Chain A
C-alpha cells in the first residue's frame, strides 16, 4: 500500500470503524507473527495480539504520523505488551554464552534441506538475547529498515546495527559447519 494511502486509511480509522478493520486485516498477520516470535506460545501470542489492537484502537485518535509506517507504531505497542507480560516474571529465556545451537542430519531432498536449514537457523535466532532477537526478527523476518527498527525499539540506528552485527557474528560462530557448506 503506498504511503499516502496508508496515511489516509489511518486518518479515516480515527472515525470510521471499517477503516480500522482494514488496518487490522492488513497488519494482523505480521503483528501476530511478531508477537509469537517473542513469546513462543500460541495462547500468549493471541493475548499479546489482542492487547496490541485494542490499545491501538483506544489510542488511534492520538496517533500522529511521524514519518514511519503505521506498522512501526503497532510493533512498538507489541514490544511494550510483551515487556508488560514478562514484567515481574523471570523474563525471556536468554541463551547462555557457549550454549550449543541445534543441529541435525542433512536431508536428501533439496527442499527439505532448505526448509530444515531455515527452521534451524530461526530456531537459533530464537535463542539469542532478546534485543538481538527482536532486531533480527524485524530485519530478516519482517524486512524492516534499520531506522524503522530503531524507532520501534526506542534505540539509535547505531545501536540496532550493533545488535544485528553481534547476532550475526554469534550465529556464524555457533551454527554447525554444514550450514555454510550448504550455501556455496
Chain B
C-alpha cells in the first residue's frame, strides 16, 4: 500500500488508521456513463472552440443553430467514429430566394497530411442539402470503392478497403442545397454550387518494407503510447485482421456507419434477442462498418480477408458462418441451439474447430465434416497450427497435439493449456503448478521443452506470440493477488529476458498485430471499467544497416526538399556527385517548381561487404503550391567509412498526377524457396486485369520469369511468386493493362529494378 505522508501525519490514532487504510484500498464505484455522452460533449466543445478560439472573419451563411437534442445521435456518432473531417469553408449559394447559404466546414483536412488509411471521411454541411444529389456527385481519385451514408448533415464516405498510404487523394462533389418546404406556387429547385467542392489530403507514410523479413524483432521490444480503443463496456471481445484492422463485438445499438436498429436481429416470440453485433474497426478505434448484426466471438482467418463468427438467427438458434470484411455472408458452417462462449478456431484458412455439447468438431469452410478422432472437451483450449497440419487440444482427459493427417494424438505434459502457435509453427503453452506456472515450447508441435517457470509463484496466462516468433507476451499476476494485479510481460522464446511492463492498472489478454507495431489488450480504466486499449511497440535495433541507409536517404531528401544544395551534396560520394552533375537527375527542383515530398518506394539489399542498398524514392513536384507530378529515382547507397553515401542514381520521366492508378511501392521478399515480389497500388483495381501478362518480372534478356500471381483487393496488392538468381538484376514491369474499378488504365507502364540475392 502506498504511503501518503499527509495521511500518516493526520491520522495517528490506530482506529482512524484502519479506516484510512480501508479507504486507500477502496475506490468509489465507477459512475454510470453513457458512452455517447463523452464524445457528444467533445464534439460540442470542439465546435465552440473552433468558433471562439480561432477568430475568423464574420461569415454570412446558413442560419445554423446547434440543437443538442436533435444533433445528439449524429454528433455522437461522428465524434465517436469519424476522425477524418474534410475541411474547407465553402458556401453554396442557393438559388432559392428564400434560402440562405449552406456551408461546408472543411477546415480540418484540406491539404492535411498523415491522414489515417482506415478512417471514414466525413464532410459536414451546416444546413440541409439534397442528400441524394450530393452523394451522387462524389468522385474520389485514385479510384476508391466506397459506401456513403448520411449522419445528420454529415456525409460519411466509407472506403470498402483501407486507403492507400503515401497517397494524395482528391475528393470532389457538387453540393445542392435542399429544396425549401413546399409552398403554394413555389417549385422547389435545389441549387447546385457553381463549381465542385474539391478537397485534397494525403495519407500517412507506410512503414518501409522489410529488407530481411521479418524485419520486426520482438526481443527487447519497448512499450510505447497507449490508446483507449473504446470506452468500457462498448467492446466485448475482438482481434486483429491480417491487415491491421480489428474485428470486434460491440453491444447492439452502438454508433457508427451503417448502424441501424432495423439491421440488428431482434427475434420475435420466444427467441432470444441478439444483444451484440460484430464490427470492423480501425486500429484507432473508429467503427468502420457493421459486419454481422447479432454476431459475437469473431475470428479472422489467417488469410483470404474473411472471418468466422457466431450469429443469433431469427429462429433463436446460433449459426457458425463465414463473412468477408464487407459483411457479405460467404457460407453457413453449422447451426447450434445456443451461443458458445468463445470464438471458433481457424485451422489454416480452410477449416474451423469449435466445441459443442462437450465434444470437438472440425468442419471445412463449406461446413463439411473433417475426420478426426472423437475428443471430449469442455472449456479447454484449442488452437490450429499455421500450416494447418496440427491441432492442439485440451481435452477432458488430457492435452495433446492432434495430427490432422494421420489422426494420431501426441500427448503433452499434464495440465497443458493456453495454447498459442507462432508464425514459425512452434507451440507455446502453460502448465499451472501448485505455486506458479510453467511455460513450455514445442518446436513444430513436438518435443515440448520447459522454457521458464514463473518467479515467485506468479500465475501466467494469455500467451500470445510476437509476429516474428521470437518472443511471447503474457499476463502475469503475483502469487495470491487478485486479478487487478495482472500485468503484461514479455519473454523470449528461450526463456530469457522476462520483462514486466510497469503499469498501474489491470492489464490482460494481449494480442500482437501481424505487423508487430501494436498490441491490443484489455485494461481497467480510470472509472474501474474494463476497456480495450492498444499500445504501440518500438522494435529493438534491427535491420540496422537498412535503417542507417534509409536515415541517410532521408537526410539527403530533406536537404533537397529545402533546397539546401550543400547539405544534399554531403550525402553523395564522388561517383554520385558526378552522376547528378552529369544530368542523371536533378539534385534540386527546377525553377518555378518545388520538391514537395518524397517516400521510399522500395529498399533492397543488393550487395554485402561492403553493404550496398538500392533505395527507390518517389519525389512529388509542385507548382504554385499544388502537387502536379512525380518522378522516381533509384539510388544506390554504398557503405564508406561507417556512412552510407549515394553512389549512383537513375531517374524516371515525370508522371502527371491524377491520370489513373499508379504503382505505390514494391518490395522483394526472400522466401524459402524463391522470392515474392509484392506490388502495391494506390487504387481499387479490377482484379481480372491483374495477371501474369500485365505484371511481370523480366530477366536481362527481356524474357518474363515464370511466376504465379495473386491479388488481394483489401490491400490493392499483387504478389508474384517466382525464382530469382542471386546477384542478377531484373526488371519489374507493370503494363497499362492494369485497370482501376472505373475502367481507367495505368497512366504509364511502370518499370523498376529487382535484384536477386
Residues of B within 8 A of A121 (CB): 22-23, 26
A164–B24 CA distance with the chains assembled, in angstroms? 14
The main secondary structure of chain B at its interface with chain A is helix
Contacts A21-B45, A172-B15; is A119 near B29 (CB within 8 Å)?
yes
As a 0/1 sequence over residues 162 to 184 of chain A, the CB contacts with chain B under 8 angstroms (1 = contact) are 00110011011001000110010
Shortest Cβ distance from B18 into chain A, in angstroms? Answer: 5
| Interface segment, one of A3-11, A43-51, A78-86 | A43-51
In the assembled complex, B58 has its CB within 8 A of some CB on chain A: no
Residues of A within 8 A of B15 (CB): 172, 180
Residues of B within 8 A of A72 (CB): none
In the assembled complex, B359 has its CB within 8 A of some CB on chain A: no
Category for how many chain B residues contact A: 35 or more
Shortest Cβ distance from A95 into chain B, in angstroms? Answer: 16
As a 0/1 sequence over residues 132 to 175 of chain A, the CB contacts with chain B under 8 angstroms (1 = contact) are 00001101110001100000000000000100110011011001
Contacts A111-B482, A171-B19, A172-B16; is A42 near B33 (CB within 8 Å)?
yes
Q: Is there an interface contact between A17 and B54, defined as CB atoms closer than 8 Å? A: yes
As a 0/1 sequence over residues 7 to 44 of chain B, the CB contacts with chain A under 8 angstroms (1 = contact) are 10011000110111111111111111110011001101
A146–B23 CA distance with the chains assembled, in angstroms? 16
In the assembled complex, A70 has its CB within 8 A of some CB on chain B: no
In the assembled complex, B701 has its CB within 8 A of some CB on chain A: no
Interface size in chain A (residues, C-beta < 8 A):
52
Q: Is there an interface contact between A37 and B28, defined as CB atoms closer than 8 Å? A: yes
Residues of B within 8 A of A125 (CB): 28
In the assembled complex, B502 has its CB within 8 A of some CB on chain A: no
Q: Is there an interface contact between B54 and A24, defined as CB atoms closer than 8 Å? A: no
In the assembled complex, A97 has its CB within 8 A of some CB on chain B: no
Shortest Cβ distance from A60 into chain B, in angstroms? Answer: 8
Contacts A32-B33, A183-B18; is A141 near B526 (CB within 8 Å)?
no
In the assembled complex, B53 has its CB within 8 A of some CB on chain A: yes
Q: Is there an interface contact between A17 and B19, defined as CB atoms closer than 8 Å? A: no
Shortest Cβ distance from B494 into chain A, in angstroms? Answer: 36
A173–B295 CA distance with the chains assembled, in angstroms? 52
As a 0/1 sequence over residues 433 to 463 of chain B, the CB contacts with chain A under 8 angstroms (1 = contact) are 0000000000000000000000000000000
Q: Is there an interface contact between A42 and B10, defined as CB atoms closer than 8 Å? A: no
Shortest Cβ distance from A117 into chain B, in angstroms? Answer: 7
Q: Is there an interface contact between A172 and B31, defined as CB atoms closer than 8 Å? A: no
Q: Is there an interface contact between A183 and B22, defined as CB atoms closer than 8 Å? A: yes
Residue with the highest number of chain A CB atoms closer than 10 Å, among B7, B16, B20, B53: B53
User: Out of A49, A137, A146, A172, which one reaches B6, CB within 8 Å?
Assistant: A146
Residues of B within 8 A of A32 (CB): 31, 33, 38
Contacts A122-B26, A145-B6; is A20 near B45 (CB within 8 Å)?
yes
In the assembled complex, B710 has its CB within 8 A of some CB on chain A: no
Residues of B within 8 A of A37 (CB): 28, 31
A137–B31 CA distance with the chains assembled, in angstroms? 13
Shortest Cβ distance from B76 into chain A, in angstroms? Answer: 12
Q: Could you list 18 further interchain pairs (A-B, Cβ under 8 angstroms) beyond the known A57-B53, A140-B23? A: A15-B53, A15-B54, A17-B54, A21-B42, A21-B45, A21-B46, A24-B45, A110-B482, A111-B482, A117-B22, A118-B28, A140-B24, A141-B28, A145-B6, A168-B19, A168-B20, A172-B16, A180-B15
